[in-house]
């Protein structure tokens, strides 16, 4: 098969991994712009969400909550229920992590917060490893047959369509929240000018709690979707994606959640398409090269700062 004929298929894979990167990127971007630091623990927050879903799922199976596959999907009601609870629990857990770690360092520089997030990342990953071990844990054991889209010759699995649809729904929800709710507007105001937000009477501590909850929920969703796509999860799941997520955030314009969506898609697609030309092992290097080029050519990113 020649290289060019593989590209449409790789584009589809790119959109799938781009979806997961976009969700993570929105979370990293919101935390960066409102709370003010690059959160290196974000990947491990994704893994935390994925493992909470795993734990709840096995609990639900032991309670004999049915999990017969929904339509063409490889999972059923039991797994979706576990995922929804895991997203909520991760949001709460991330707020707790903030109270234990980041909130105590709030008056320090962003470098201190960033360094502490690296410590938080290691701690979180090792806690997961302590309870579940370093080995792969399977979400879904059965093999799903990809559907061929007639005419285009593109193969896509129903689970992958599910990943893209969930991403679209969440992007729309986050957009509506930021644009139309009072708390969403207060989050944008705090990102714009933290000092003025306080002078205006905006309760910035509540804004921070909301930011962590949304960031945590998005992290858990991205982690679970990555688990669905890979079929299995490991404690390294999020850490391995973090570089690509940071690249997506820088590419789109750091601190701009809309840029993170564009950046996530561009990184996801470029990484996948690059495998037509260079070995798959170089995927992270591709993300890194894009990030460096963007920082040299246009450090404000594709969408720049929203001013």
Partner 1 sequence: MSLLTVNAVTSGYGDMEILHGVSIEVGAGEIVTMIGPNGAGKSTLMKTIFGLLTPTAGQITFAEKEITGLSPDLVVRRGMAYVPQVENIFPSLTVNENLEMGAFILTDDFSGQLEEIYQLFPILNDRRKQRVGKMSGGERQMVAMGRALMLDPKLLMLDEPSAALAPNLAVTIFERIVAINASGVAILIVEQNAKESLKVSDRGYVLASGRNRFEDTGENLLANQDVGQLYLGG
Tell me if 65 sits within 8 A of 247, measured CB to CB. no
Q: For 232, left (φ over 0), alpha (ψ -120 to 50), or beta?
A: beta
Q: Which of 188, 236, 275, 284 binds partner 1 (CB under 8 A)?
A: 188
Does position 186 bind partner 1 by CB under 8 A?
yes
Tell me if 266 sits within 8 A of 221, measured CB to CB. no
Q: Which helix (H) or strand (E) holds 147?
A: strand 147-149
Q: Binding segment for partner 1 among 141-149, 163-171, 180-188, 285-293 (CB under 8 A)?
A: 180-188
Following DSSP, what letter does each residue of 56-114 receive, concatenated?
HHHHHHHTT----B-TTSS-BHHHHHHHHHHHHHHHHHHHHHIIIIIGGGTTS-HHHHH
Nearer to partner 1, 142 or 182 (CB): 182
Does position 107 bind partner 1 by CB under 8 A?
no
Does position 176 bind partner 1 by CB under 8 A?
no
Does position 201 bind partner 1 by CB under 8 A?
yes
Tell me if 19 sits within 8 A of 224, measured CB to CB. no
Does position 181 bind partner 1 by CB under 8 A?
no
Does position 307 bind partner 1 by CB under 8 A?
yes
Q: Which of 106, 137, 155, 198 binds partner 1 (CB under 8 A)?
A: 198
Q: For 155, left (φ over 0), alpha (ψ -120 to 50), or beta?
A: beta
Distance, in Å, from the CA atom of 133 to the CA atom of 25, rounded to the nearest integer, reads 27
Does position 192 bind partner 1 by CB under 8 A?
yes
Q: Binding segment for partner 1 among 52-60, 115-123, 184-192, 233-241 (CB under 8 A)?
A: 184-192
Provide CB contacts within 8 A for 105, sequence distance 6+: 112, 113, 116
**Binders of partner 1 in range 221-280 (CB under 8 A):** none
Residue 186 CB, nearest approach to partner 1 (Å): 6
Q: Binding segment for partner 1 among 71-79, 186-194, 208-216, 262-270 (CB under 8 A)?
A: 186-194
| Separation in Å, CA 204 to CA 112, 130, 171 | 20, 36, 24
Distance, in Å, from the CA atom of 224 to the CA atom of 232, rounded to the nearest integer, reads 10
Distance, in Å, from the CA atom of 306 to the CA atom of 211, rounded to the nearest integer, reads 18
Q: Which helix (H) or strand (E) holds 154?
A: strand 154-156
Residue 126 CB, nearest approach to partner 1 (Å): 39
Q: Which of 196, 278, 285, 293 binds partner 1 (CB under 8 A)?
A: 196
Nearer to partner 1, 137 or 188 (CB): 188
Residue 73 CB, nearest approach to partner 1 (Å): 39
Does position 136 bind partner 1 by CB under 8 A?
no
Nearer to partner 1, 88 or 304 (CB): 304
Nearer to partner 1, 185 or 231 (CB): 185
**Site for partner 1, rule CB under 8 A:** 182, 185-186, 188-189, 191-193, 195-203, 306-307
């Amino acid at each position: 098969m020649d290289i060019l004929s593989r590209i449409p298929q790789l584009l589809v894979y790119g959109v799938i991994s781009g979806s997961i990167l976009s969700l993570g990127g929105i979370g990293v971007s919101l935390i960066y712009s409102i709370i003010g630091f690059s959160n290196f623990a974000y990947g491990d927050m994704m893994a935390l969400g994925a493992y909470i879903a795993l734990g709840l799922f096995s609990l639900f199976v032991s309670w004999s909550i049915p999990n017969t596959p929904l339509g063409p999907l490889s999972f059923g009601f039991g797994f979706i229920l576990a995922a929804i609870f895991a997203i909520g629990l991760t949001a709460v857990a991330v707020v707790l992590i903030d109270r234990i770690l980041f909130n105590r360092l709030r008056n320090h520089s962003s470098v201190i917060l960033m360094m502490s997030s690296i410590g938080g990342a290691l701690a979180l990953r090792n806690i997961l490893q302590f309870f579940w071990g370093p080995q792969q844990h399977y979400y879904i054991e059965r093999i799903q047959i990809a559907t061929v889209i007639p005419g285009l010759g593109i193969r896509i699995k129903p689970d992958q369509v599910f990943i893209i649809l969930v991403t679209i729904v969440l992007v729309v929800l986050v957009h509506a929240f930021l644009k139309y709710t009072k708390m969403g507007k207060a989050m944008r105001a705090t990102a714009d000018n933290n000092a003025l937000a306080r002078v205006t009477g905006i309760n910035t501590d509540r804004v921070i709690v909301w930011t962590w909850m949304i960031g945590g929920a998005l992290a858990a969703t991205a982690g679970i979707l990555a688990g669905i796509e890979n079929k299995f999860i490991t404690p390294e799941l999020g850490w391995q994606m973090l570089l690509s997520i940071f690249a997506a955030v820088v590419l789109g314009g750091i601190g701009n959640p809309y840029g993170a969506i564009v950046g996530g898609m561009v990184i996801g697609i470029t990484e996948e398409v690059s495998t037509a030309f260079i070995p798959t092992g170089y995927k992270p290097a591709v993300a890194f090269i894009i990030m460096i080029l963007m920082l040299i050519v246009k450090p404000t990113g594709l969408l720049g700062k929203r001013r």
